[in-house]
Structure 1
Amino acid sequence: MKAVHFGAGNIGRGFIGLLLSQADYHVSFVDVNDQVIDAINDKQQYNVLLADESGEEINVTNMSGINSMKDPEAVIDAIVEADIITTAVGASILPIIADLLAKGLTKRLETANAPVNVIACENMIGGSTLLKDEVMKKVTPEVANQLPTRVGFPNAAVDRIVPNQSHEDILTVSVEPYSEWVVDQSMMIGDLPDIKGMTLVPSLDPFIERKLFTVNTGHAVTAYFGYHYGYETIKDTLEDKDVLALVKGALKESGQVITSKFDFTEAEHANYIDKILGRFLNPYLSDEVTRVARGPLRKLGENDRLVRPARLYYELVNEEPTHLAKAIAAALLYDFKEDDEAVKLQTMVEAEGYEKTLETVSNLTASDALTTSVLAQVEALKKQK
Structure 2
Amino acid sequence: MKAVHFGAGNIGRGFIGLLLHNAGYEVCFVDVNEALVSELQAKRQYAVKIANEQGDTYLVDHVTAIDGKDVGLVAEMIAEADIVTTAVGVSVLKHIAAAVAKGIELRLASGKAALPIIACENALGGSTILKQFVYEHLSADVQKDADLHIAFPDAAVDRIVPLQQHEDPLQVTVEPFYEWTVERSPLLASQVEIAGVHYVDDLEPYIERKLFTVNTGHCVAAYHGYLKGYATIQEAMKDSEILAKVVGALQESGAALVQMYQFDEKEHALYIDQILERFINPYLVDEVARIGRSPIRKLSPKDRLVRPALLAYQYGIPVTELTAAMAAALHFNNADDPEAAELQASIKEHGLHYTLTKYTGLEAQHPLHKQAAEQYRAQESVLQAAARGAGSL
Instruction: Spell out the pairing of 1:213-232 with structure 2 (5 A cutoff).
Output: 213-232=212-231
Conserved 8 A contact 1:116-1:190:
no
Whether the aligned pair in 1 keeps the contact of 2:149 and 2:187 (CA below 8 Å) is no
- Code of the residue aligned with 2:338 in structure 1: it is D
Match of 2:13 in 1: 13
Tell me if 1:363 matches 2:368.
no
- Matched to 2:230, the amino acid is Y
Q: What does the per-residue CA deviation read over 1:137-189, in whole Å, with 9 as the maximum and x for residues that have no partner?
A: 11101111111100000000000000010001110000001100000014653
User: Counterpart of 2:247?
Assistant: 248
Shift of 1:345: 1.2
Q: How does 1:1-385 map to 2 (within 5 A)?
A: 1-69=1-69, 71-186=70-185, 189-316=188-315, 318-385=316-383
Superimposed CA distance per residue, residues 226-256 of structure 1 (whole angstroms, 9 cap, x where no aligned partner): 0011111111111111111111110000000
Unaligned runs of 5+ in 2: 384-393
Distance 1:384 1:193, change over 3 A: farther
- Partners of 1:383 and 1:182 in 2: CA distance: 43
Q: What is the alpha-carbon distance in structure 2 between the residues aligned to residue 63 and residue 320 of structure 1?
A: 50
8 Å contact from structure 1 (residues 154, 187) kept in 2: no
Alpha-carbon distance in structure 2 between the residues aligned to 1:380 and 1:297? 21
Shift of residue 370, structure 1, vs aligned partner:
1.3
Q: Give 1:196 shift.
A: 2.1
Q: What is the CA–CA distance in structure 1 between the aligned matches of 2:44 and 2:187, rounded to whole Å? A: 30
Aligned counterparts of 1:311 and 1:83: Cα–Cα separation in 2: 41
Question: In structure 2, the residue corresponding to 1:58 is in which secondary structure?
Answer: strand
Q: 1:319 deviation in Å?
A: 4.0
Spell out, residue by residue over 1:211-239, the C-alpha distance to the aligned partner (whole angstroms, 9 max, x if none): 01100000011100100111111111111
Q: Displacement, 1:81?
A: 0.5
Taking only aligned residues, the RMSD between alpha carbons, in angstroms, comes to: 1.0
Residue 299 (structure 1) shift: 0.5
Number of corresponding residues: 383
| Cα deviation 1:320-352 (Å, max 9, x = unaligned) | 411100000000111111111111111111111
- One-letter amino acid matched to 2:41: N
Give the Cα–Cα distance (whole angstroms) in 2 for the partners of residues 144 and 368 of structure 1: 43
Partner secondary structure for residue 301 of structure 1: coil
Which amino acid is 1:53 matched to? E
**C-alpha separation between the residues in 1 aligned to 2:106 and 2:357?**
43
- Residues 255 and 317 of structure 2 are in contact (CA less than 8 Å); yes or no, is this contact kept in structure 1? no
> CA offset at residue 125 of structure 1?
0.6
Q: Which moved more, 1:184-193 or 1:324-333?
A: 184-193
Structure 1 equivalent of residue 388 of structure 2: none
5+ residue gaps, structure 1, are: none
Work out the percentage of aligned pairs sharing the same amino acid. Answer: 48
Superposition TM-score, scaled by structure 2 size: 0.96
Q: What's the offset of the Cα at 1:95?
A: 1.0
Segment drifting more, 256-265 vs 216-225: 256-265
The 8 Å contact of residues 179 and 197 in structure 1, kept in 2 or not, is answered as: no
Partner of 1:110, secondary structure, is helix
- Aligned equivalents of 1:197 and 1:252: distance in 2? 29
Deviation for aligned residue 1:353: 1.2
2-structure distance, mates of 1:66, 1:351: 45
> Which stretches of structure 1, 4 residues or more, deviate above 4 A after TM superposition?
none
Give the 3-state SS of the residue equivalent to 1:181 in structure 2: strand
Change in 2 beyond 3 A, CA 1:205/1:333? same
- Change in Cα spacing, 1:98 to 1:276, as seen in structure 2 (3 Å) is same
Offset of residue 112 of structure 1: 1.3
- The TM-score, its normalising length taken from structure 1, stands at 0.98
CA displacement at 1:117 relative to structure 2: 0.5
